[in-house]
Amino acid sequence: MNALQGELRVGLLLEQAAQHTQYQALIAQNGCQLAATISCENIGSIAEVQADAWLIVADTAIENAAFTSWLAEVDVPVIFEEGAGQSHEGWQRRLSIKLQQLAGVINLGSHPVKPREVWVLAASTGGPAAVKQFLQALPEGLDVAFVYAQHIDGGFDVTLAQVISKGSAYPAVLAGHGSLVAANSVLIVRPDQRAEVQENGTLIVHNECWPGQYRPAINQVIANVAAIYGAHSGVIVFTGMGDDGSAALKMMKQQGGTVWAQTAETCTVSSMPDEAIATGTVSYTGSPEALAVKLAAHLGARH
């Protein structure tokens, strides 16, 4: 199953039936669906359950021949959990992180190719038109991934993805649990859900708003990408009002990344590019079309 197409189905093997409600709620809270619950007494039926992943909370299962045989052949992720209890402080948070990462693990298995570089596209007022011009001017097949952080009201992100994808060789998708930072695509960070890129190139999307006054918080997106991808990352600051993003540009530069900005005369509002330039980190400025030409040349020169 492609994790982007719907809820992950998680099978649950429990040693203590009393824990069923507890684990079922935790699975649902992390965007997954309970496929089935198997008790140790019925462990022989585990192979009959269709699931995208398994959560095993049964220490004695390893002593069962049917289970060990199934485990040797199963081709989906398996999480072993020690079990909930008052003596296991923080178990819910630990297990939640594992469940959130499941979709990414599954997607990585079907999309093993990593992007050559990862670039943040940062924008506010006038951003959709400028970013669309930039993407339409790019040659196809650069094997670069884009993470698009656009200040936008909630509910308009679906329309934004449609607008950005039209006429571009780099289709846009909305960030979700397990989304990949994939080559030749644009991953749109949603304004109402804080997203975080992991070291393996997948996303964890938290069911909470971005901190601060901006939605999404471009500073956090840039800092996150810079920390993960270093010299193989960059950011382009497009038209926009305010200064979101400028605080993280020095980190991008320190990590070896590249910082560019749209020229003021081609912006709807030039505050964001102006603030970026004022940091002293911007090495190139141009129109959206010129930035596309520059990126193609940059990638050709480096690779």
Residue 80: which domain range?
3-110
One domain, residues 139 and 235: yes
- Region of residue 212 (phi > 0: left; psi between -120 and 50: alpha; otherwise: beta): left
Answer whether 0.75 is exceeded by the pTM.
no
Q: Of 110, 128, 145, which residue is a domain's last? A: 110
Catalytic residues: 124, 151, 244
Instruction: For 229-279, write each residue's pLDDT tens digit.
Output: 999 999 999 999 999 999 999 999 999 999 999 999 999 999 999 999 999
Percent of the chain at pLDDT > 90 equals 55
One domain, residues 230 and 280: yes
pLDDT at residue 101 is higher than 90: no
One domain, residues 88 and 122: no
The CATH number given to whatever domain includes residue 63 is 3.40.50.2300
Token pair 């308009």: residue: 156
* Number of independent structural domains in the chain: 2
Q: Of 82, 110, 138, which residue is a domain's last? A: 110
Range of lowest pLDDT (61-75, 121-135, 170-184, 236-250): 61-75
One domain, residues 86 and 126: no
pLDDT tier at 15, thresholds 50, 70, 90: confident
One domain, residues 125 and 267: yes
Contact 188, 154 (CB under 8 A): no
One domain, residues 26 and 152: no
36 to 5, 79, 235: CA distances (angstroms): 20, 15, 44
If you average pLDDT over every residue of the chain, what do you get?
87
Contact 9, 52 (CB under 8 A): yes
One domain, residues 97 and 213: no
Q: Of 83, 110, 137, which residue is a domain's last? A: 110
**Cα–Cα dist 73/48, whole Å:** 13
Q: What is residue 140's predicted lDDT score, i.e. its pLDDT? A: 93
Higher pLDDT, 193 or 226: 226
pLDDT at residue 52 is higher than 60: yes
**Cα–Cα dist 213/56, whole Å:** 41
One domain, residues 190 and 225: yes
**Cα torsion angle, 173, 120, 101, 53, sign:** positive
Q: Which of 15-29, 146-160, 173-187 has the highest mean pLDDT?
A: 146-160
Higher pLDDT, 246 or 60: 246
The CATH number given to whatever domain includes residue 127 is 3.40.50.180
One domain, residues 202 and 148: yes
Q: What is residue 118's predicted lDDT score, i.e. its pLDDT? A: 98
pLDDT at residue 57 is higher than 80: yes
